[in-house]
Amino acid sequence: MSSTTKTNTRVSSDSERTDAQQTSSSRHPTQLDDSTIIRRTLVERGLRPASDENRPSGHLSTATAITTITKQHQDEQRELQELNNKFAVYLDRVHYLENRNHKLSSELNDLKQAWGGDAAQLQAVYNPQLQALREQIDNAMRDRALQDLQLKRHEYELWQIQQQIATFDDYEDINRINHLKQELDNTHLELEQLRNQFDQRLGDLTRHRSIMDDLLKELEGLKNELDNQQLERIVIENELQTLREHAAFQDAIH
């Protein structure tokens, strides 16, 4: 809407300037020629008016501006939808980790009720490490989602700058073009840094998952070892009871 209003204002200004030139020409027909007409080029949101020789009509220029703005809006809507979809995947992953945490907590509680102090000791040793790893994984997932959003934002900014540069012609200020090129280079550099950070976060997440899997395997092994020890203790107690009964029987005979 801002580009259309400014285009209409420019058309009104051109009309007023033309009337003033005609009035001045009628008063001083010999003092003005084509070289005295000052032409201005406006650049608004990547739109520039064509010269009088190449401009087919005002309606065509306005329609082109509306088409460009509509396309930009559709691209923004599509990118926002993609970001929403990725954020939904992230939420599903968080819910999965929460359910996994609840399941592990339930297993630890069952062990505590079944074996008493031994299970409580195992939980006291490994639960802080598991909790710390869960927090690190959650933080890594959140940072990954934020970096993904930042990547999309910078890619969109790059696209806008490229569109603005593409609309410039030989009449534009060279300093403005150089400034936009510098911004483009800086954005490329920042985008590369974000990609490196993203890869690093992804590596950290993989490493934390591997550590958590190792701890879970170790915990499972300790559970099995605890079961075996309990079974051995029961067998030994049974054998000891048998020996006691046998000794008592021998004493009774002799």
Residue 3 pLDDT level (bands cut at 50, 70, 90) = very low
Q: What is the DSSP string of 67-109?
A: HHHHHHHHHHHHHHHHHHHHHHHHHHHHHHHHHHHHHHHHHHH
Domain coverage including residue 246: 75-253
Does 218 fall in a domain?
Answer: yes
Alpha-carbon distance of 251 to 254, in angstroms, equals: 5
pLDDT of 50 strictly over 70: no
Does 115 fall in a domain?
Answer: yes
**How confident is the model over 161-165, as a mean pLDDT?**
75
Q: What is the pLDDT of residue 47?
A: 40
Alpha-carbon distance of 209 to 231, in angstroms, equals: 33
Residue 73 pLDDT level (bands cut at 50, 70, 90) = confident
**How confident is the model over 124-143, as a mean pLDDT?**
83
Q: What is the pLDDT of residue 168?
A: 61
Q: What is the pLDDT of residue 109?
A: 77
Q: What is the pLDDT of residue 12?
A: 43
Q: What is the pLDDT of residue 170?
A: 52
Residue 51 pLDDT level (bands cut at 50, 70, 90) = very low
**How confident is the model over 117-145, as a mean pLDDT?**
78
- What pTM, to 2 d.p., does this model score? 0.31
Does 246 fall in a domain?
Answer: yes
Does 2 fall in a domain?
Answer: no
Q: Which amino acid type is present at position 253?
A: I
Task: Specify whether the CB–CB gap between 169 and 49 falls below 8 A.
Answer: no
Mean pLDDT over all residues of the chain?
73
Q: What is the pLDDT of residue 173?
A: 64
Does 35 fall in a domain?
Answer: no
Give every CB contact of residue 208 below 8 A, 6+ residues apart in sequence.
Answer: 133, 136, 137, 140
How many domains does one find in the chain?
Answer: 1
Q: Residue 176 belongs to a domain with what CATH number?
A: 1.10.287
**How confident is the model over 158-164, as a mean pLDDT?**
79
Does 54 fall in a domain?
Answer: no
Does 38 fall in a domain?
Answer: no
